[in-house]
Structure 1
Amino acid sequence: MVALELIKAAQSGDRDALIALLREIESHVYRTAYYILGNEQDALDASQEALIRIYRKIDSYEEKALFKTWVQRIVTNICIDKFRKTKPTVSIEEHEMVFATGLLVEEEVLAAYVAKDIHDAIDKLPPHHRTVVVLRYLQDFSYNEIAESLDLPINTVKSYLFRARQQLQSLLQDYQKGGVRG
């Protein structure tokens, strides 16, 4: 079954289709939540809340929007609500970093520092900038999909991304000078 068939079956009350649909999207939901919130526990909480909300509101999904943008809107709104309630903690776990095969130990260590610095820089962005960066560069959403997911004008999305890139450039300026932060 393709996703559209799963959606229609889930909307018609097919419990197995709904479970299959939720399983298909759960890793994307978690990834978005993790990169927006910055830590595993908050991401797990937000993911669970998003999946429950999707489960309860699957009947309200209309094909006017892409399913993935509808899902991202739900998880993003939940993450933004969590930001309003508490300030997130910044953490990254090195065991989650993926290294290209064949790297020397020194290169792996350097890659770990670079990855951590990039994640730390993204975590320092304001929530609305972090969200558009996550959707654009980690979830590979188009500008239109981001605008639709966040219910923002496309020019606002472009502005947020522009400002976020400026902030990241400033936060990661040591790399432009050839150095590694540590």
Structure 2
Amino acid sequence: MDLTEKAELARKGDKEAFVLLVRAIQQSLFVIARSIVKNNEDCADAMQETIAKAFSNVHTLKEPAYFKTWIIRILINECNQINRKKKRVSLIPYDLRKTSYKEEYEQIELFEVIDELDEQLQTIVTLFYIEDMSVKDISNVLEVSEGTVKSRLFRARKQLSELVLGEGEEKYELS
């Protein structure tokens, strides 16, 4: 049974199907939340709220094929709400994430570089490169035009190039 079928069952009230859906995408939800809120406690809070809201409102899901996009939109809103609350409470900078992506022969401090980007660009880069979402899906999740997603990706690539290669060094071709 694929995710669309499970989403249809969940929309009709099948609790077990909803649990299976959440389990199937929980890693993606964690990565996205972590990229926005920057620490495990806030990440857990955002995920918990997201799952509770999604469960309460799954019957409103119009298109089961877009369950993942729908729940990611809820998650991003929850993460942004947590960040807004933190800004009101404390202006102390925090960066507790020292996660790295490790390939067989090299280690790239990927998230540390992504953290250097503007907040909007961090989300776009995480969704596009880490979660492998299409420009169209990102556009739907963030409720912006596809052109906006493309321009933000371009700006992010430019900033990443400057961060990784330095200001004065020869840069690779941006495509």
TM-score category, normalised to shorter length: 0.7 to 0.9
Could you tell me which residue of structure 2 aligns to residue 90 of structure 1? 95
Paired residues of 1:7 and 1:17 also in contact (CA < 8 A): yes
Instruction: Show CA shifts across 1:27-69 (max 9, x none).
Output: 2111111122222222222111111111111111111862221
**1:129–1:65: structure 2 CA closer, same or farther, 3 Å change rule?**
farther
Partner of residue 164, structure 1: 156
Residue 142, structure 1, aligned to residue 142, structure 2? no
Answer whether contact 2:98 2:112 (CA < 8 A) is retained. Answer: no
Cα distance 1:97–1:165, how it changes in 2: closer, same or farther (>3 A)?
Answer: closer
Following superposition, the deviation at residue 142 of structure 1 comes to: 0.9
Which of the residues 128, 139, 143 maps onto 2:120? 128
Q: Secondary structure at the match of 1:66?
A: helix
Report the secondary structure of 2:96's partner residue: coil
In structure 2, the residue matched to 1:74 is: 74
C-alpha separation between the residues in 2 aligned to 1:128 and 1:141? 16
Looking at structure 1, the residues matched to 65 and 16 of structure 2 have their Cα atoms a distance apart, in angstroms, of 23
Judged with a 3 Å threshold, the aligned counterparts in structure 2 of structure 1 residues 127 and 40 are, in CA distance, closer, same or farther, namely: same
Amino acid at match of 1:56: S
Q: Which runs of 5+ in 2 are unaligned?
A: 88-92, 171-175
RMSD: 2.4
| 1:175–1:51 CA distance, 2 compared to 1 (3 A) | farther
Give structure 1 stretches of 5+ with no counterpart: none
Q: For the structure 1 residues 53 and 136, does the alpha-carbon distance in structure 2 shift closer, same or farther, using more than 3 Å as the test? A: same
Q: Could you tell me which residue of structure 1 aligns to residue 90 of structure 2?
A: none
The Cα shift of 1:3 comes to 1.3
* 1:36–1:123 CA contact under 8 A, matched in 2: no
Name the structure 2 match of 1:152: 144
Name the % identity: 33
Secondary structure of the residue aligned to 2:63 is: coil
Q: How many residues align?
A: 165
CA distance in 2, matches of 1:64, 1:33: 22
Distance 1:156 1:84 in 2: 23
Task: Considering fraction of residues, name the structure with more helix.
Answer: 1
Cα gap change, 1:175/1:27 in structure 2, threshold over 3 Å: closer, same or farther?
Answer: farther
- TM-score, structure 2 length as denominator? 0.82
Q: Is the 8 A contact 2:125 2:156 kept in 1?
A: yes
